[in-house]
Amino acid sequence: MTDRILCGAKGRIRQTTRKEAKVEALLTYAAHIRKAASMSASATPVRVIEETPAYWRVVFEYPPFNILDATIFECLQDLLVRIYASQRLRVVVFESAIPDFYLAHFDLTGKTGNITTAVGPSGLPILMDTFVRLTKSPVVSIAKIRGCVRGGSSEFVLACDMRFASRENTRLGQPEVGVGVHPGGGGTERLPHLVGRGRALEIILSANDFDGDTAERYGYVNRALPDAELDAFVDALARRISSFDRRAIDAAKNLVNQVSLPSADRLLDAITSFETALTWPETQQRVQALLRLGLQQDVEFEKRWPDNLGTLLDA
């Protein structure tokens, strides 16, 4: 197997943003030097491990929390180029190297670059383009979930073809409404089809975390598995699918997509509405309150911040 580093020189996201992101990444890295010392020298936010030419593992390792920012989107865009170019690939498993964080949530400090203003190859904004091209790609995407995965990151796993979660270590949710906005990357469009209107509204309007068992019961994930069995289950499934013919997989996925993907019209409504909500003063007040309380800085707060949303403006 081979390790390759993504986020090369040809990234689609503005150079200025990338520079800022790199500076920030360096600062974060310094703050976690002890952890970093034990990591491979080739540590990079999104690492591809080619188990076989047909089966890749993609590992998020962007300390401290795997925050979903412009850097991650740039890496995912690069990955999609490689996925679409590969003729032998069948399955990509997305996982995290940071124990309690799968992919924490959309960056709330402004490091989102031009993901809502620049367009990707599909003609849609980068945020949507990334998720839409993942859903339509000719290969199978599997999210293997351990740790926190909220908001835009929940929308990332909803854009994967399948989701398998650790029973003991999953905190999955769409907390946006508790932050004064709403999901803007497909959550409001994908969840109702997956879990029905009632549970979709509960997930989105409660802004709560859902553990592995509840997520399975609701259909938010395919299955929750005991943490000790998760790796073996997903690996066996990925190897099995990777033995199948690429055009059979592509044709089957294409037919399912025809009856199960939201339209671009609906996704554009969501992103436009989300952009508007970000400008509301009450939203900014909530974001600032969360950042003051330790969001994206304090590991304990980062693990459980949705618990605070019901009383956020009381203090």
Q: How far is CA 98 from CA 13, 20, 103, 190, 299, in A?
A: 25, 23, 9, 27, 12
Cβ proximity to a second copy, 47 vs 199, nearer residue: 199
Q: How far is CA 274 from CA 120, 125, 153, 185, in A?
A: 19, 13, 15, 9
Name the minimum Å distance from CB 252 to a second copy.
Answer: 4
Give 194-246 as a 3 state SS string.
HHHHHHHHHHHHHCCCECHHHHHHHCCCCEEECHHHHHHHHHHHHHHHHCCCH
25 in Cβ contact with 71 (< 8 Å):
yes
Cβ proximity to a second copy, 42 vs 263, nearer residue: 263
Name the minimum Å distance from CB 192 to a second copy.
Answer: 4
Give 261-313 as a 3 state SS string.
CCCHHHHHHHHHHHHHHHCCHHHHHHHHHHHHHCCCCCHHHHHHHHHHHHHCC
Cβ proximity to a second copy, 21 vs 221, nearer residue: 221
Cβ proximity to a second copy, 32 vs 193, nearer residue: 193
Name the minimum Å distance from CB 309 to a second copy.
Answer: 7
Name the minimum Å distance from CB 168 to a second copy.
Answer: 19
Phi, psi angle pair for 38, to nearest 5°: -90, 0
287 in Cβ contact with 211 (< 8 Å):
no
Name the minimum Å distance from CB 200 to a second copy.
Answer: 6
Q: Say how far apart CA 261 and CA 274 lie, in whole Å.
A: 20
Cβ proximity to a second copy, 98 vs 225, nearer residue: 225
Name the minimum Å distance from CB 20 to a second copy.
Answer: 28
Cβ proximity to a second copy, 205 vs 228, nearer residue: 205
